[in-house]
Structure 1
């Protein structure tokens, strides 16, 4: 693929933005061309591997089923909500924050992420029974569901393996539920993906209400990139009854690298109102994918790369600035996945700063104050956390 950008000076104001978008697009396309999994990536591997860790993921999706072997779902939209389960093995040599993709399916469990089992779940009721069975195995007080909503340009196995990586790195005991919408997993399909996220709003609303009616005691939601637009639009359109149902169980919402126009985000928050517990918003001003999104969207800043942490904090968010965190991916768009390993230290940092927990915050440091300045020598992290006073 060859894409030429003229070096001749051009005084038309939009040319600079388009030239930048073209350069970033080429960079992302080149970065994405190296063996990204598409079909046949979920071949079952039952070879033993001492020290490997398996994680059982439940799946809710608006993707269409794919009849090709070891594929399960593609990037096209389904008329119905589909359900599935998969067990993913993480190798003993795993680097936190990374995904060790096999060069060829089914991979080597000693060195690669591999699929141990996978299959469809018949319907919503069967899915709910699976959830409650998993919750029953957890002690009272720890019966939690962890929901992950992936972002733009994400194929089904990528979302699945990314979630398994985070659950493993953070050693989360909650029941993991992947909500995966119909992203085609191609950089050039930005508009298709955005429309797919729009189509998925009702399905996400139905899923979150269903999860809130299970035997879970609490629910944590993590959304990434365009998945945040899907989540916030779903919340904005929720009925009063649905909001009351969700408020009883949803305790923590993390918005990682939100690909949302800042003005749209403000309008969404105005409609939703300040949440009982503040959102965590993970931002990074060197996020190249969000720079491209900003160029496509007429130069409007994206929330995930917003330059004013203090304003986001005033809107009711706890801002976790990851700009100084060294990224494992060239696009610098997946830093959130590296925080899973830091989860215990991050929670401890917030607790030491005077907040009772990450899910029940009654006060915080003043706007513009980094937690590192507040806690001193407690825990050193390459991140900055900005909070505002938050009434309960």
Structure 2
């Protein structure tokens, strides 16, 4: 099968999954919000995208000249289901009914440390989120705001957005854009970790963003001999990563690497087609934990917990975004992964995750969801 044929198959699958829900541009145009119209999430967005002059777009899908920063406040509407995003229709967003931007301002490069000093005071923990393939800037902003709001984890939100064109046929362009952005993500990680107001950094990456994240961590480990100690946890949701490459990347990070939690699903349709594009090599986000060969390989990786969500249904028809769309998984993120404090005992992490899933779903529903932990550090 030719690459072009597979790309069209990927496009057909993704388009079938989203059911024609193409969204108009301009959702990030700031609007005024009445008091009490919605909860507020303020984030720092760091991006390697080129700026856009289209109203409400802010950053497009092409590659920029370097890191740019913005302070963005998102209003999350009341009376909504956990895991959902209410998109504005054409025209100004309505904070009472939809996600809306109520404030957006540039942050100069020299002002990032001041932003961290202001926002981290009293919280001391930061979350860097790296989005995945086929993601416009507005989609990255709203998804991250939804995740921060629904998990109620209390971390300082920092979005790293790389140049994705947000089109299903641009898989290769998006993949190269992650490589283009790797050193910039390293710079952001080091800047956040170096802040005296930040005690701990958690990095969460989805889909193709996991490749970028793991490569950035590996690059820093090889360059400096270790990853900054403040980076304690890495969460990979549906990672679009070659399983053989990932095994080597983890080894090259060295023994003093962050704890890694991976959400996988054997019925992830997007990763199934990514596997075809990648020469039929299994993606980490679609490994089969019932296969002894994969379990043996994972068992050799200390400090890695894998949560198999194959048995969990959610509102995502592609089974590719359960980490954010499933209320049960959002609860696990909030209670067991994002709220952990420095010094917390992580030796029972797999049991903690399984217990929270069981409480959220009920034991009968949670039973098909496997949680596996590799050897301990």
Shared fold, TM over 0.5 = yes
CA 1:262–1:327 in 2, change beyond 3 Å: closer, same or farther? same
Aligned to 1:82: 68
CA 1:375–1:390 in 2, change beyond 3 Å: closer, same or farther? farther
> Which of the numbers 276, 288, 307 marks the counterpart of 1:320?
307
> Which of the numbers 58, 69, 87 marks the counterpart of 2:44?
58
2:227 aligned with 1:230, yes or no?
A: no
Aligned to 1:272: 253
Structure number, greater radius of gyration: 1
2:115 aligned with 1:154, yes or no?
A: no
Offset at residue 172 of structure 1 (A)? 2.2
Written as runs of structure 1 = structure 2, the 5 A alignment for 1:89-100 is: 89-100=75-86
Q: Structure 2: how far apart are the matches of 1:176 and 1:373?
A: 23
Contact 1:262–1:302 under 8 Å retained in 2: yes
CA 1:274–1:85 in 2, change beyond 3 Å: closer, same or farther? same
TM-score (norm 2): 0.86
Q: Structure 2: how far apart are the matches of 1:241 and 1:295?
A: 33
CA deviations 1:284-311 (Å, max 9, x no partner) are 1111100110011111100000113623
**Gapped regions of structure 2 (runs ≥ 5):** none
Contact 1:282–1:320 under 8 Å retained in 2: yes
Written as runs of structure 1 = structure 2, the 5 A alignment for 1:360-379 is: 360-362=345-347, 371=354
Aligned to 2:198: 216
Q: Which piece of structure 1 moves more, 94-103 or 288-297?
A: 94-103
Q: Structure 1: how far apart are the matches of 2:209 and 2:115?
A: 25
Offset at residue 38 of structure 1 (A)? 6.0
Q: Structure 2: how far apart are the matches of 1:63 and 1:110?
A: 30
Contact 1:356–1:362 under 8 Å retained in 2: no
Q: Secondary structure at the match of 1:327?
A: coil
CA 1:163–1:186 in 2, change beyond 3 Å: closer, same or farther? same
CA deviations 1:237-296 (Å, max 9, x no partner) are 21557464x432111110111101111111212211344443001101111100110011
Q: Structure 1: how far apart are the matches of 2:147 and 2:140?
A: 11
CA deviations 1:62-101 (Å, max 9, x no partner) are 0001122222100000111100111111111221111111
CA deviations 1:134-161 (Å, max 9, x no partner) are 112x1xxx41011100011000000000
Contact 1:99–1:161 under 8 Å retained in 2: yes
> Which of the numbers 329, 334, 339 marks the counterpart of 2:321?
334
Aligned to 1:201: 182
Aligned to 1:297: 278
Name the Cα RMSD after superposition.
3.2
Aligned residues: 365
TM-score (norm 1): 0.83
